Amino acid sequence: MTPAKARALFRTTDVATTAGFSAGFAQANLIALDRRYAFDFLLFAQRNPKPCPVLGVLEPGQVSSDLLAGGDIRTDIPAYRVYERGSLIDEPLTASSYWTENTVAFLIGCSFTFEQALLDNGVPLPHIEQGKNVAMYRTDIECEPAGVFSGKMVVSMRPIPASLVSDAVRITSRYPAVHGAPVHVGDPATIGISDLGAPDFGEAIDIPPGTVPVFWACGVTPQSIVMSSKPDLAICHAPGKMLITDARDLVYQVP
């Protein structure tokens, strides 16, 4: 299914997850904020490109772009989550009624892109084999603050066979637009994670013997940091239900 057809489908139809749709095309996280937060948030992203890689920004009044040609950011995601001062108030199928002329939409890179690159290169991903959501953890790594936004980094963890860790680093470092290289390899305690069996988001996974826990900056970070600053309103995608963009995964690969 082309990205345009997938977006048209999601305009009227909810799905459990967009994972697997329009293979080869990048999916994106959405965070939409009032314009008065826009500079601080874009600056936060500039300073924290690993947890917050910006694929595109729709300015006030703009509801489409070349990342979603002919589409509408307010309707083309299967489901949205709306937060008022950091609290979830609604999970609508379209966000049109919450959108104003001052809403700025940030499209943030998603790890689906680098996971596909890992699989294509023969690096196994246990959470996918186990049919689970990736395990995510709050760390004690401080993000670079920007304006009103500050807080700790959230990471995702994938257990990688020891002999493939350097491949996993090499492969993902070529995708800085989708979280890039790992932020940490090995001992979870060093970055403030006390128990791999108790993730803060996602699901605990069985860790195969002979693997090393490898940690990547996670797109949950900006969402968690924005929420803790309690903006009047924030409009996000519902978890696992991403915007399918017209950008091929491969355009985000660097040399």
Q: What residue ranges bind a copy of itself (CB under 8 A)?
A: 35, 38-39, 42-43, 46-47, 54, 57, 59, 146-147, 170, 173-174, 176, 254-255
* Residue 22: how many other CB atoms lie within 10 Å: 19
* Residue 184: how many other CB atoms lie within 10 Å: 19
Amino acid at 45: A
Q: Minimum CB separation from a copy of itself for residue 80, in Å?
A: 23
Using DSSP's 3-state secondary structure scheme, residue 23 falls into: coil
Q: Minimum CB separation from a copy of itself for residue 191, in Å?
A: 20
Q: Bridge-partner residues for 146, per DSSP?
A: 149
For 227: left if phi > 0, alpha if psi spans -120 to 50, otherwise beta; the answer is alpha
Closest to a copy of itself by CB, 94 vs 245, is 245
Closest to a copy of itself by CB, 9 vs 57, is 57
Closest to a copy of itself by CB, 78 vs 222, is 222
Return d(Cα 75, Cα 58) in angstroms, integer: 14
Return d(Cα 119, Cα 47) in angstroms, integer: 29
Closest to a copy of itself by CB, 130 vs 173, is 173
Closest to a copy of itself by CB, 67 vs 235, is 67
Closest to a copy of itself by CB, 134 vs 214, is 214
Q: Minimum CB separation from a copy of itself for residue 89, in Å?
A: 26
Q: Which residues contact 47 (CB under 8 A, 6 or more apart)?
A: 143, 144, 145, 146
- Going through 184-253 in order, the beta strands assigned E by DSSP cover 184-185, 211-217, 233-237, 243-248
Q: Minimum CB separation from a copy of itself for residue 45, in Å?
A: 8
Six-digit token string for 164: 């493939």
Q: Minimum CB separation from a copy of itself for residue 146, in Å?
A: 7
Q: Minimum CB separation from a copy of itself for residue 68, in Å?
A: 15
* Residue 23: how many other CB atoms lie within 10 Å: 9
